[in-house]
Amino acid sequence: MNINFRLTTSHDVSAIFLIDTVATPERLLEITQWVKQNACFVLEANDEILAYGVLTHHFYSHGFIELLMVNNKYRRQGFGHILINKLKEQSKTDKIFTSTNQSNLATQKLLEKTGFVPSGYIDNLDDNDPELIYYYNRVKTI
């Protein structure tokens, strides 16, 4: 399978929305905004979107992987891992952050496999499910 990683265009919005598990009208607006801001990237093969991710720099001016979504048909095949590593390469900063819910064990494992380490948490975003913050630094210190 020949996999391509690229910045999205307005032509991708509906295809991205189709693989999004949230798929609300609000999410469609978010996807449209991320695409306009050049913050949304996809992994694709054979004209099909395997996964998409959003990388912004609004978190204290550091890279922040705001969202990572793998097409249900392609989960547990390494595409989340590939996408995270590609997004890390796109970051304008060496310090990169992301987050996931405490209940999302699969994403926690994925983040740790890709070199992210726990960096704190935020209570009260989702009821009874703290948001765990993760950190990655491209510059390794001894």
pLDDT band at 139 (very low <50, low <70, confident <90, very high): confident
Q: How far apart are the first and last CA of the chain?
A: 38
Burial grade of 65 (CB within 10 A; 0-12, 13-18, 19 or more): buried
pLDDT band at 141 (very low <50, low <70, confident <90, very high): low
The helix (H) or strand (E) run that includes residue 108 is helix 105-113
- The CATH architecture to which 4-137 belongs is 3-Layer(aba) Sandwich (3.40)
DSSP letter assigned to residue 127: T
Task: Return the pLDDT at 140.
Answer: 73
**pLDDT tens digits for 100-127?**
999 999 999 999 999 999 999 999 999 9
> What rounded mean pLDDT belongs to the chain?
94
Q: Where exactly are the structural domains of the chain?
A: 4-137
pTM of the model: 0.92
Is there a contact between 49 and 16 (Cβ–Cβ < 8 Å)?
A: yes
pLDDT at 79 over 50: yes
For the chain, what percent of residues have pLDDT higher than 90? 92
**pLDDT tens digits for 34-67?**
999 999 999 999 999 999 999 999 999 999 999 9
**Cα–Cα–Cα angle for 103, 35, 88, nearest 5°?**
55
Q: Average pLDDT, stretch 75-84?
A: 95
pLDDT at 142 over 70: no
